[in-house]
Amino acid sequence: MQKRKLGKSNLEVSALGLGCMGMSFSYAPPFPEPKEMVTLIRAAVNRGVTFFDTAEVYGPFTNESLVGEALEPVRDKVVIATKFGFNLNPDGSPGWQGLNSRPEHIKQVADASLKRLRTDYIDLFYQHRVDPEVPIEEVAGAVKDLIEAGKVRHFGLSEAGIATIRRAHAVQPVTALQNEYSLWWRKPEESILPLLEELGIGLVAFSPLGRGFLTGKMDDKTKLASNDSRSGLPRFTPEARKANQVVVDLLSVIAKKKNATPAQIALAWLLAQKPWIVPIPGTTKLTRLEENLGAAAIELSAGDLAEIDSAASKIVFEGARYTEPLEKLTDR
C-alpha cells in the first residue's frame, strides 16, 4: 500500500484508510459481531492499511473499544484518529444532546478515549463538528495542551469553514480536515481545497463512496430499513436515487475500460485529485475491503480524468446531502 503525508505535517498514513463507523453505528442494526470486526480490522492491517478512523459518538463508545482491541497488538505501526465535540446521552443510547467543545470537556473525552483505545496517545484528534458556543481558539488551545502533555499528536477539524480553519490553525497547526468529498459531493473544491493547499493541511475524505451509492450496489428500488441513517437523507429518496444513477453509470463506463469496479474508480478519482487527500471508505466485509484497497493500484490518465470531469460537470444531483438539522452542524 502506498503512503501519503497529510499536508505539510509529518503524519504519514496509507493512501486509503479504513472508516470504522459502520461497524457499530449509523447504518441499520443488527451490527456485525465485534469479534468479526476485530478480524476485519486486523485483515486491513495485514493488507497495508495504517490509518483507522473512529469517534466516541460511534456507538457511542463501542466503536472506539472495538478499534482499540483490534489495533492493540500493532499499535506502534498504525495511526488512530478519533473525535470529540458532542454531549452524549447519559444512558449510553445512540445519538447526542448537542455540541460541546468546552476545553474541560475536550480533555475529559481525550482521557476516556485513550482508555477505550488501549493506548497512551491519540495520533489525530478531531473536533467532530464546530461548536458555535466555544471560540475555536479555545478549542485549538485545549488540543495544544493535550499535544504538549503527550496525549495527542495531531489536531484535526471536521466539516469546518474557511474562517474557522484559519483561526484554529493560527493557535495550533491543523494537520487534517475531515470533510465529505466524492464525485457526488464536490463542494470542497470551491474554497476548502485551495485553503488547505495554502496552509499545508491534509484532507481526509469521508463518505468517498457516497454512503454506498457510488458502488453501484443500490438503485431506486433498493429498500432501506427505517433505522438506516440514509433512509432520512434527501439524496437517498427513491426519486433522488433514480435521478442520480447517472453518476454511477459514468463510473461504470470508466470501470469497464479499466477492468475495475465503479467503487474503485470513485476512489481512484479521489486519489488523483491531490497527493494529500486520503479517502477513508468504510465496510464490514472482507471482499469490499479488498475491492476498495484495489483502487490504490488503478492509474487514471489525464484523459480519463478529463473524461470524468467533463461528464460529471453536466450532472445536477437531486436531493440535499443532509436534512436541515444535520446541515446546521456543518460550519460554513
DSSP string, 214-256: GGT---TTPPPPTTSGGGGSGGGSHHHHHHHHHHHHHHHHHHH
Give the whole-number percent of the chain exceeding pLDDT 70: 100
Residue matched to cell numbers 504519514: 12
Overall CATH class of domain 3-211+267-298 = alpha beta
Q: What would the pLDDT profile of 73-85 be if each residue is shown by its tens digit?
A: 999 999 999 999 9
Lookup: cell for 259: 477492468
Owner of C-alpha cell 486491513: 44
User: What is the distance, to the nearest Å, from the Cα of residue 141 to the centroid of all Cα atoms in its chain?
Assistant: 24
What pLDDT was estimated at residue 97? 86
Q: What CA–CA distances, in Å, run from 289 to 165, 222, 284?
A: 32, 22, 8
CA angle 189, 192, 195 (to 5 degrees): 120
- For 131-168, write each residue's pLDDT tens digit: 999 999 999 999 999 999 999 999 999 999 999 999 99
136's torsion region: left (phi>0), alpha (psi -120 to 50) or beta? alpha
Q: What is the rounded distance in angstroms from the CA atom of residue 12 to the CA atom of residue 259?
A: 30
Alpha carbon distance 261, 215 (integer Å): 8
Residue 51, C-alpha cell as written in the block? 490509518
Give the model's pLDDT for residue 92. Answer: 81
Distance CA 1, CA 16 (A): 8
Q: What is the DSSP letter of 232?
A: G
Cα–Cα distance between 206 and 210 in angstroms, integer? 9
Please enumerate in sequence order all residues whose Cβ is within 8 A of that of 232, keeping only pairs 6 or more positions apart, or say none: 323
Say what the pTM is. 0.97
Percent of the chain predicted with pLDDT > 90: 91
The domain spans of the chain are 3-211+267-298
pLDDT digits (tens, 9 = 90+) for 261-307: 999 999 999 999 999 999 999 999 999 999 999 999 999 999 999 99
pLDDT above 70 for 332: no
Residue-level pLDDT at 93: 84
C-alpha span between 207 and 21 (Å, rounded): 11
Q: Tell me the sheet residues that pair with 83.
A: 126
- pLDDT tens figures, 9-60: 999 999 999 999 999 998 878 899 999 999 999 999 999 999 999 999 999 9
For residues 11-28, one letter each, b for 16 or more C-beta atoms within 10 angstroms of the residue's C-beta and e for the rest, the string is: bebbbbbbbbbbbbbbbe
| Residues 66, 63: Cα–Cα separation, whole Å | 5
Q: What is the C-alpha to C-alpha distance for residues 177 and 204, in angstroms, rounded to an integer? A: 6
DSSP string, 92-152: --SSEEEE---HHHHHHHHHHHHHHTTSS-EEEEEESS--TTS-HHHHHHHHHHHHHTTSE
Overall residue count recorded for the chain in this entry: 332
**Residue 95: predicted pLDDT:** 81
Which residues participate in catalysis according to the annotation?
58
Q: How confident is the model at residue 325 (pLDDT cuts 50, 70, 90)?
A: confident
Q: Distances in Å between the alpha carbon of 200 and those of 13, 136, 182, 196?
A: 16, 19, 21, 6
Rg over alpha carbons for the chain, rounded to the nearest Å, is: 19
The tens digit of pLDDT for each residue in 177-208 reads 999 999 999 999 999 999 999 999 999 999 99
pLDDT of residue 175: 98
Residue type, 81: A
Mean pLDDT in the chain?
96
20-29, 88-97, 211-220: segment of lowest average pLDDT: 88-97
Convert the pLDDT of each residue in 307-316 to its tens digit: 999 999 999 9
What is the grid cell recorded at 195?
A: 485553503
